[in-house]
Structure 1
Amino acid sequence: MLLSRTLVTRSASGAWRSYMEGATLTTPSPLWGGIQGGGLKRAKPSRRCYLLQQVLQGNRWGTPTLYPSPQGGGGHRRCARCDYPAIGRHKTNSVLGVATLLLLVTSTDALAHASDRGYVLLLPIGHYIVGGAAAVAASFLALVFLPAGSLGRFAAARLALIRLPSAARSYVSVVSFGILLVLIAAGFFGSRDPLSNPLPLTIWTLLWVGLTLVQGLVGDIWQWINPWLGPYRLARSLGWPLHLLRYPERAGYWPALVLFAGFAWFELIDIAPDEPGRLASAVTVYTVFTLAMILVFGYRAWTRHGEFLSVFFGMIARFAVLQGRPSPDGSDEQLLLGVPGARVAAALPLPPSGVFFLLFALASVSFDGLSRTFFWLGLIGVNPLEFPGRSAVIGVNSFGLLAAFLALAAVFFLAVSLGERLTESRRPLEQAAGLYVWSIVPIALAYHLAHYLTVLLVNGQYGVVALSDPFSRGWNLFGTADMAVGAGIVSGSAAAWVLWNTQAAAIIAGHVLAVLVAHVFAGRLHPKGRDAMLSQLPLTLLMIAYTVFGLWLLSTPTAG
């Protein structure tokens, strides 16, 4: 345990956060479910302790009071403001409740549910140094000894696997849309506990964390499971008026950028992104808006330029090992196996709107890690041991997110510009930047894996549990409702060793792939070997700095 006098509850959106928000700790507490079989056994929502959660959210809800349980007979007392069950599984009274609360708050030992960071999960300085040195060495070797042309030929190798019927995508999409509606309903009518409600667990853990990794490492699963294609084709079969307007070419990816910015702000800065009802409202608005835009501009135009999830997932899927190649008549799709990043080697330059979209996506992931560090909190004048709550830093963190994006964009365009100047190239900066921006994606994807790995391992289990009982009515649809959540998977020396090495290996592998991708693009833009090497030299330095920055974020203390 690093710190004391801090009560921690788990946030479904990313990290385990304290509602006093003072620090991230590691010790499980039986207040939140008994420790059974080496893991945390999820208690039934009606028997969970929510009084402490609401007291510690006093900046948002005020201090709750208790009134007798409507069941009578000395049952659970409930909070008069939020109607949440109070402490305890058995009969309780206000004196016992207050005494328990005072005991917990003044305890010298930290009580926590679980943590994705802590003393065992901060990347050791040795891994940090080795990772940085490996990044420098890999960059130097690629620049000096590796011909760019050989990489292009290697990337072109493919192995044909199976064929998939294209018509199945519509049926899968309809099922996905139905699941989306159930999740929204669960957000409105299910448990108020983010650990028991499947909507926040699905959106923030399974979708944003898990599917992003699947897209970047395995293949474009989103084009099969996205919930937009099925309703669109259904509307077309019913004869609804579609394609009312032509998507303006000059709009580019700007709509996707604006929507992604709203998504990132809601996840990283909003005061309660995990609250099921609040999240359900946001998902409902976005679903209605997306379907309306698809009906107006068409499925292909909007999902390729305006729907930020489809745009983002489609871009990072270019680095996966699996890709689909449609047949000439469009009846099926050939699944191909290639090397990581092979598809991006043949990518066309992105327009400025696409460049800024990718840069903002990368900056938001980095700011997610930076905003929790002691360094950032000290910079904005906040004591990490007395964190005032998210509502107190909305303004400064909003500015920080924007500043991170502008800083990354400025440094990136400066690096590309210097590289083109070194070769005395007269090529437009937009063309070179539109290609080289792809090369930063592997580093960001690797950091995404390293940063959210423990979140996925633990919260993913909660998601599997919650999906079996989406409305907290005692259902067990998939046989996982009573599954014990194994928090021990991210605690202990053995788990720490595996996590450290996985994180460091992911960051280094991402850097190596980024350098190789940049090397391929340099060969495309500058056929001469010397010019190709000089043009990517400033960008390589940026990649090294970005990699070291990611390693530093994993190794520095955080407060949430």
Structure 2
Amino acid sequence: MGQLTVGRISAHGLGGAKDLPIPPELAIAGAVAALVVSFTVLAVAWREPRYDAATSGRTAPAWLDRLASSRALAVVLRVLGMAFFLYVAAAAVFGKDSLINPFLGSFYVILWVGLVPASLLLGPFFKAVSPARTISMLFAKVSGVPEGQGLYAYPARLGYWPAVLGLFSFVWLELVYPHSTDLGPVRLWCAAYLGIMLIGSAVWGTTFLARADPFEVYSSLVAKLSVWGHRDGVLVVRSPLANLATVVARPGLVGVVGVLFGSTAFDSFRESSDWLGIVQSMSVSRILPDTLALVAFSAGVALVLTAATMATGVTSDTPRRALPDLFAHSVVPIIVGYIVAHYLTFFVEYGQQTLIQLSDPFSRGDDYLGTADLQVNYWISLHPTFLAVTKVLAVVLGHVVGVVAAHDRAIKLLPPRHHLTGQLPLLMAMVGFTAGGLYLLFAS
């Protein structure tokens, strides 16, 4: 993705410390102070768990519930999702192998980055439009198999681990593979992804998609920060924190947040002058050191989270080994904060460029969608102070929400005498994430 546009580098960091109205050291110190103050306030004012999936949320208006659960809406969304998939697939197969091919922007920008705001606003958006789900449903209908059912039950012990592999393969393609903007490798990745999803859903049903599809798992996790949820099959409106508390802890959840957070941090790190100097001094291909660094960042986040959450007393009802997955939900707002900080400019500006390119999928001068004559608005890049402040606030807000989510879970799970002391290792980890993340954003 790094080679898609010359504006890509400015989309990662803060454009340099000069763009910020305060020194970067002060911004980092202020962010850390915000976390410590938030924890102190929570320790005094938040002494009972407040979020319960069985009772939280206000019932949505009846008409909205009927609309959201209607068969007609589901069919419309699946048709639109499939139509967009086929349109972009045609560009991938028959379009030119060039950066102006809208397939690349659709894959890296609209799909990967765009599913975050879509899921925040609409809930588990990708699940509703997933071409893999749609094709799987069509195959089931044609073969007479009950919808959602496979040959075998999905093994519970696998949890989200297949999604971890899928997510890592995507970020490796995006951030490490030197030909990530050539049509051939990206087409191959997409074909392999779709083939694995269809075979897996045939064997284990749509439960496989809910656990193994990297995009569906990512979207569904981010959707827990939206206001939309379900209770007993009824649409409810919840606060994002209450919704976040409904994340179900399954094996591999720590791995998912590790890859999502670690890869974003690595994307900043790989552009730093220190890392560029190291890889340029090596005699081997950059693929090897970048791959090792990506693994280190992803595994490092997961290991830090695991160690921080397990360094506490537990009750007999909660085994210590279960704590990392039970607290992993608190990293989701941190991930979203860094996605905003890291990709805001890229999403807004290259997203517009992709919309323009979609009118001409075969690079022949066509204007199928009527967008070919539109111009990209660079307002965000032209206001660097606004951009820098927005990015810092996104990171800080993400961490503060994460601290609140972790505190509520700790009050619910840990023994009373460990309610506060048991959170200190995780607080220290989040402080490290904040300082390190902001440092990388400034340094890139």
Q: TM-score, normalised by structure 2?
A: 0.88
Judged with a 3 Å threshold, the aligned counterparts in structure 2 of structure 1 residues 170 and 325 are, in CA distance, closer, same or farther, namely: farther
Q: CA deviation at 1:285?
A: 2.4
**Contact preservation (8 Å) 1:172, 1:225:** yes
The 1-side partners of 2:424 and 2:290 are apart by: 33
Gaps of at least 5 residues in structure 1 are: 1-8, 18-23, 26-113, 328-333
Paired with 2:6 and 2:236, the residues of 1 have a C-alpha distance of 36
Deviation at 1:116, TM superposition (A): 7.1
Measure the CA separation in 1 of the matches of 2:75 and 2:133: 6
Question: Of 241, 245, 257, which aligns to 1:341?
Answer: 241
Write the letter of the residue equivalent to 2:380: V
Residues 247-296 of structure 1, C-alpha deviations (whole Å, 9 max, x = no match): 23333222222222211211110112122333123212221221222122
Question: 2:319 matched to 1:413?
Answer: no
Per the alignment, residue 491 of structure 1 pairs with 381
Indicate if the aligned counterparts of 1:170 and 1:233 stay in contact, CA closer than 8 A. no
> How far off its partner does 1:426 sit?
8.3
Say whether the 8 Å CA contact 1:220–1:317 is kept in structure 2.
yes
Does the 8 Å contact 1:324/1:335 carry over to 2?
A: yes
Match of 1:309 in 2: 215
| Aligned-partner Cα distance in 2 for 1:122–1:213 | 25
Q: How does 1:160-175 map to 2 (within 5 A)?
A: 160-161=60-61, 162-163=64-65, 164-167=68-71, 168-175=73-80
- Go from structure 1 to structure 2 and tell me whether the alpha carbon gap of 1:411 and 1:425 turns closer, same or farther (over 3 Å shift): farther
Structure 1 CA distance for aligned equivalents of residues 354 and 18 of structure 2: 22
Equivalent position of 2:325 in the other structure: 434
Q: In structure 1, what residue type is equivalent to 2:177?
A: D
Confirm or deny: 8 A CA contact 1:256 1:305 kept in the other structure: yes
Worse-superposed segment, 119-128 or 430-439: 119-128
State the distance in 1 between where 2:276 and 2:2 align. Answer: 20
Task: Evaluate the alpha carbon distance shift between residue 324 and residue 250 of structure 1 in structure 2; reply closer, same or farther with a 3 A threshold.
Answer: closer
Name which of 195, 218, 227 aligns with 1:321: 227
1:514 matched residue in structure 2: 402
The 1-side partners of 2:59 and 2:268 are apart by 38
CA shift for structure 1 position 457: 1.4
Separation in structure 2 between the aligned mates of residue 151 and residue 16 of structure 1, nearest angstrom: 42
Q: Does 1:211 align with 2:106?
A: no
Of 60, 79, 89, which aligns to 1:184? 89
Shift of 1:121: 7.7
Distance 1:357 1:294, change over 3 A: same
So what's the TM-score if we normalise by structure 1?
0.71
- Paired AA for residue 205 in structure 2: G
Alpha-carbon contact 1:349-1:432 (below 8 Å) kept: no
Deviation at 1:217?
5.5
5 Å matches for 1:222-301?
222-239=126-143, 243-299=150-206, 301=207
Q: What is the root-mean-square deviation in Å for CA atoms of aligned residues?
A: 2.9
| DSSP-derived class of the 1:342 partner | helix
Q: Distance in 1 between matches of 2:184 and 2:231?
A: 40
Q: Distance in 2 between matches of 1:137 and 1:218?
A: 32
2:225 is aligned with what amino acid? F
1:468 maps onto 2:359 in alignment: yes
Does residue 158 of the first structure (1) align with residue 49 of the second (2)?
A: no
By percentage of residues, which structure has more helix? 2
The answer to whether the 8 Å contact 1:213/1:449 transfers is no
Distance (Å, rounded) in 2 between the aligned partners of 1:284 and 1:148: 49
Following superposition, the deviation at residue 459 of structure 1 comes to 0.5
Question: In the alignment, residue 552 of structure 1 is paired with which amino acid?
Answer: Y
Higher relative contact order (CA 8 A, sep 6+): 2
Q: 1:362 aligns with which of 248, 258, 261?
A: 261
Taking structure 1 as reference, are residues 246 and 338 closer, same or farther at Cα in structure 2, changes over 3 Å only?
closer
Q: Deviations over 1:112-139 (max 9, x none)?
A: xx99764488655143332232222222
Indicate how the Cα distance of structure 1 residues 478 and 520 shifts in structure 2: closer, same or farther if over 3 A, else same: same
Equivalent position SS for 2:236: strand
* Contact 1:171–1:230 (CA under 8 A) maintained in structure 2: no
**8 Å CA contact 1:16, 1:115 repeated in 2:** no
* Between 230-239 and 502-511, the greater mean CA deviation after superposition: 230-239
Superposition pairs of residues 85-100 of structure 1, within 5 angstroms = none
Percent identity between the two aligned chains: 28
Q: Report the 3-state secondary structure (helix = DSSP H, G, I; strand = E; otherwise coil) of the residue aligned with 2:311.
A: helix
Q: 1:451: which partner in 2?
A: 342
How far apart, in 2, do the equivalents of 1:481 and 1:274 lie? 22
* Aligned CA distance change for structure 1 residues 204 and 345 (closer, same or farther; 3 Å): same
Q: 1:442 Cα shift?
A: 1.1
Is the counterpart of residue 135 in structure 1 residue 15 in structure 2?
no
- Offset from partner CA, 1:338-388 (integer Å, 9 cap, x none): 21131232344332x23223222221222122221123334x3537xxx99
Provide the rounded CA distance (Å) in 2 between the counterparts of 1:127 and 1:181: 46
Distance, in Å, in 2 between the alignment partners of 1:150 and 1:239 is 47
Partners of 2:231 and 2:186 in 1: CA distance: 36
- Distance, in Å, in 1 between the alignment partners of 2:316 and 2:270 is 39
Q: Is the 8 A contact 1:450 1:503 kept in 2?
A: yes
Report if aligned partners of 1:439, 1:518 keep a CA contact under 8 Å in 2: yes
**Alignment-derived partner of residue 60 in structure 1:** none
Contact 1:355 1:434 (C-alpha < 8 Å) held by counterparts: yes
Counterpart in the other structure of 2:418? 531
In the superposition, relative to structure 1, how do residues 230 and 349 fare at CA in structure 2: closer, same or farther (>3 Å)? closer
Q: Deviations over 1:398-442 (max 9, x none)?
A: 11111112322222222122223xx68784222222211111221
In the alignment, the residues of structure 1 paired with residue 217 and residue 390 of structure 2 have an alpha-carbon distance, to the nearest angstrom, of 28
CA distance in 2, matches of 1:257, 1:156: 30
Residue aligned with 1:228, SS: helix
> Could you tell me how far 1:158 is from its partner in structure 2?
2.5
Residue 65 of structure 1: aligned partner: none
| Distance in 1, Cα, partners of 2:215 & 2:335 | 16
Map Cα deviations across residues 27-82 of structure 1 (whole Å, 9 max, x no partner).
xxxxxxxxxxxxxxxxxxxxxxxxxxxxxxxxxxxxxxxxxxxxxxxxxxxxxxxx
Deviation at 1:177, TM superposition (A): 2.3
Once the two structures are TM-superposed, the CA of residue 458 in structure 1 deviates from its matched residue by: 0.8
Query: Take 1:119 and 1:464, find their aligned partners in 2: how far apart are those partners?
Result: 29
Question: Taking structure 1 as reference, are residues 16 and 392 closer, same or farther at Cα in structure 2, changes over 3 Å only?
Answer: farther
Mapped partners of 2:40, 2:310: distance in 1: 21
CA drift at 1:513: 0.7
Are residues 120 and 249 of structure 1, via their aligned partners in 2, closer, same or farther at CA, if it must alter by over 3 Å? closer
The alignment partner of 1:336 has SS state of strand
Contact 2:336 2:398 in 1 (8 A): yes
Structure-2 change in CA distance of 1:165 and 1:350 (3 Å): closer
Counterpart-to-counterpart distance in 1, 2:52 and 2:6 = 39
